[in-house]
Amino acid sequence: MKTVVLKFGGTSVGSIDRIKKVCKIIASYKKKKNKVVVISSAMSGVTNDLINKSKLISNNFEKAEYDALLSTGEQVSCALIAGRLNHIGFKSRSWQSWQIPIITEGPYSSGRIKRVIVKNLKDYLKNGGIPIITGFQGVNNKFRLTTIGRSGSDATAIMLAKFIKADECIIYTDVEGVYTTDPRNYKKAKKIEKIFYDEMLEMASLGSKVMQPTSVQDAKLNNIDINVKSSFILKSGTLITGSKKAFSDQIITGISSTKNDAKITIVGVKDRPGVAASIFKPLSKNLINVDMVVQNISLNGKETDLTFTIKSDDLQKTEKLIKQNKKISFKKLSFDKDVSKVSIIGVGMITAPGITYRMFQALASKKINILVISTSEIKISVLISTKHVKKAISVLHKEFNLD
């Protein structure tokens, strides 16, 4: 008898009608004699509503209470799913994270699942029950509820699959799977049948919203295959795996883009050992993530121009920190918020020569200027003007035969 973990996102359980449809999906797995474990997110919009309520109460809402508040959303959806399954003739009950328990470590609002004690869960499954478990949350060593970051229900499903030794982990969402690029940006985007963990990790960290990077990392570390499917359409989805079986010889798997980047250039910095560290240390201390970095040394070797990217939300804070930094001196500071990162991703580029040239030539053919470049073994990212993003995705999609 197979054990299957099914996770349903907020849009999948966003209304009573959708919850009823989800229960039919759950029932279909149970009718095939599977042991079924269900993880549910809060109904779409509920978590945002709870966040807004906390802001109306206080602009410095206590973190432990913030997690206690947000965790109520999943409690509602799980109780509704369990109630419906019982109504249509199945044995089911809702489980909150502390009832299992799912044990987390780390700070409130960004905890990580350390372990899951599954004895009671296994007994319930053995007796034919369908447990409906709250995603996105756990309990810490102080017996307080913690949350594990937005979209954390995926991580809950993956870690439960690990500890319960499930045969399959399926993430149900509002899309049919992972696409070669965002279909909203390019209509000829196609669904990817299979994708490696590393490719999915790059796509998730570079702008793809289907999976959170931390969830993909958990799946990779624990060697758990994930199927991403739509809860609205009965079609095969995307398999995220480490297995090399039946993969195509496609060089580039997908194209990602971002919307909220900002470029900062510090001109005429007096060059000396450790100057870059002096610039980035205050940003690191203030949890500002620096992404692409380019440094140009002047001909006389005495000055350098440093360009880097951050999230546009951090721009004001970054400007203030640089201007307050007494350890550096520079001639000019400039900012550009109208930039976006476009990336091509694929394990095939490790062994295929000429990919960089093809990417740059394709962009040049559409007169798209490249501002900054960064690379890894399986991706090439370029920073371009935001107004050219759709044009860039279109020409790259065609260049690498993804249409």
Buried b (16+ CB within 10 A) or exposed e, 6-31: bbbbbbbbbeeebbeebbebbbebbe
Tell me whether domains 3-174 and 257-399 share a fold. Answer: no
CA distance 320 to 389: 29
Q: 257-399 has which CATH code?
A: 3.30.2130.10
Position 83 pLDDT exceeds 70: yes
pLDDT by residue (tens digit) across 157-200?
Answer: 999 999 999 999 999 998 899 999 988 888 999 999 999 999 99
Position 99 pLDDT exceeds 60: yes
Residue of 56 and 259 predicted with greater confidence: 56
What is the pLDDT at residue 322?
Answer: 94
The highest-confidence range among 124-138, 245-259, 335-349, by mean pLDDT, is: 124-138
Q: Which two tokens stand for residue 220?
A: 């990779």
* Phi, psi values for residue 71, rounded to 5°: -70, -10
pLDDT band, very low/low/confident/very high, at 246 (cuts 50, 70, 90): low
Strand-pairing partners, residue 226, are: 169, 240
Considering the chain, what is the average pLDDT of its residues? 92
What is the pLDDT at residue 205?
Answer: 81
The residues spanned by each domain of the chain are: 3-174, 257-399
What is the CB neighbour count within 10 angstroms for residue 290? Answer: 16
CA distance 360 to 362: 5
Enumerate residues 6+ apart whose C-beta is below 8 A from 36.
Answer: 3, 4, 6, 26, 29, 30, 130
Q: CATH number of the domain at 3-174, out of 3.20.20.70, 3.40.50.720, 3.60.150.10, 3.40.1160.10?
A: 3.40.1160.10
What is the pLDDT at residue 245?
Answer: 66
Residue 205's alpha-carbon distances to 3, 142, 214, 341, 375, in angstroms, are 30, 32, 9, 11, 14
pLDDT by residue (tens digit) across 314-334?
Answer: 999 999 999 999 888 889 999
pLDDT by residue (tens digit) across 340-390?
Answer: 999 999 988 888 889 999 999 999 999 999 999 999 889 999 999 999 999
DSSP states along 117-141: --HHHHHHHHTT-EEEEE-SEEE-T
Position 248 pLDDT exceeds 70: no
Position 145 pLDDT exceeds 80: yes
Task: Sort 383 into a burial class: Cβ within 10 Å, 0-12 / 13-18 / 19+.
Answer: buried
- The DSSP call for residue 42 is P
pLDDT by residue (tens digit) across 26-40?
Answer: 999 999 999 999 999
CA distance 194 to 196: 7
Position 249 pLDDT exceeds 90: no
What is the pLDDT at residue 244?
Answer: 75
CA distance 343 to 180: 11
Position 269 pLDDT exceeds 60: yes
